[in-house]
């Protein structure tokens, strides 16, 4: 990590993403043991693309434990070649390099942008934070859904991430309005890196624009993030909060990650249970490569369960 990024981690007390991901995995396994004893015992293994524990570390533990059946469950609700796609490709590379092609039967949960309990989990976090606004101002709150951005060259290849994020936000607002709330909303994109064109509008520009238009109450809802980490706690909680204050937004708040949400644990449990019941290797869309994709590992599955 660069000194700048290291300082950001220090300001938020370190990233909690591993803690929350491991917690969610452990709670998921406990719930599955209860609701689906026919496939018990269940155990979760966590791996990250660029941080420990890495994919090979998880595979080493799985091999030592004698695992014969596994589900590669992406914790990105929305598919993108830059996230889930990259992680799946790394999984298959490591399976091959470690000579584990025949050790484990695999299936994949590669996306779940519209799962009802996932939608309910986000709505629940919004309701919790909305209570912190004065009752008289709650109807004036502008909801900004903030997702990690992607380069426009990725969008141009037919990557479905932007579509799936937008579909999630639409479903959330439909549920939000169904329970009696009425708030304006916008989908924005954060965490751009480098000088190439990325998806817009940026969250930063959106906040500045809302301030210029006279908005005083803004609720940012991190979307496509299922746990708190540097993009939520520092980028939204510190940087964008400062931008909002400078823009004249007097009441700026952001929702907590799904972290230890019981509804979210229920969502994960339901997603895995239905996946096991359906006996499918992956979603139909998984095998659809992006336009002109030539990557040999992309959209593969080694030793499929079905």
Give me the active site residues, please.
Answer: 115, 270
Nearest by Cα to 68 from 102, 22, 92:
102
What are the angstrom distances between the C-alpha of 177 and each of 44, 157, 173, 216?
36, 34, 6, 21
The CA-atom distances, in angstroms, between 160 and each of 80, 88, 150 are 6, 16, 11
Tokens standing for residue 197: 């064109």
Strand arrangement, sheet containing 251-254: 185-190, 142-148, 217-222, 251-254
Cβ atoms within 10 Å, residue 118: 24
| Cβ atoms 100, 59 nearer than 8 A | yes
Burial class (CB in 10 A: 0-12, 13-18, 19+), 114: middle
Distance of alpha carbon 246 from alpha carbon 223, whole angstroms = 24
Angle (CA) 183 259 250, round 5°: 40
Task: Say how far apart CA 133 and CA 216 lie, in whole Å.
Answer: 11
């Amino acid at each position: 990590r660069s000194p700048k990024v290291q300082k950001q981690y220090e300001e938020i007390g370190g990233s909690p993403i591993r803690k929350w991901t491991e917690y969610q995995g452990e709670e998921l396994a406990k719930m599955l043991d209860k609701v689906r004893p026919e496939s018990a015992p269940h155990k979760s293994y966590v791996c990250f693309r660029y941080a420990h524990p890495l994919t090979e570390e998880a595979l080493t533990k799985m091999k030592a434990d004698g695992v014969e059946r596994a589900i590669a469950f992406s914790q990105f609700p929305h598919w993108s070649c830059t996230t889930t796609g990259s992680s799946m490709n790394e999984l298959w590379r490591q399976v091959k390099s470690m000579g584990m092609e025949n050790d484990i039967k695999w299936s994949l949960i590669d996306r779940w942008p519209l799962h009802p309990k996932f939608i309910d989990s986000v709505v629940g976090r919004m309701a919790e934070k909305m209570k912190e606004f004065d009752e008289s101002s709650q109807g004036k709150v502008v909801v900004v859904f903030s997702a990690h951005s992607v380069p426009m060259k990725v969008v141009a290849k037919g990557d479905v991430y932007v579509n799936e994020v937008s579909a999630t936000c639409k479903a959330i607002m439909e549920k939000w309005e169904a329970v009696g709330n009425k708030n304006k909303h916008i989908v924005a994109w954060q965490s751009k890196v480098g000088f190439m064109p990325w998806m817009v509008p940026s969250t930063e520009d959106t906040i500045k624009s809302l301030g210029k238009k006279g908005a005083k109450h803004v609720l940012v809802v991190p979307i496509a993030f299922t746990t708190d980490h540097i993009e939520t706690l520092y980028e939204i909680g510190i940087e964008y909060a400062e931008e909002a204050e400078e823009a004249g937004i007097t009441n700026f708040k952001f929702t907590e990650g799904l972290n230890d949400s019981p509804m979210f644990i229920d969502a994960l449990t339901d997603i895995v249970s239905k996946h096991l019941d359906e006996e499918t290797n992956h979603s139909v869309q998984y095998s659809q490569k992006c336009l002109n994709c030539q990557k040999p590992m992309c959209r593969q599955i080694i030793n499929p369960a079905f």
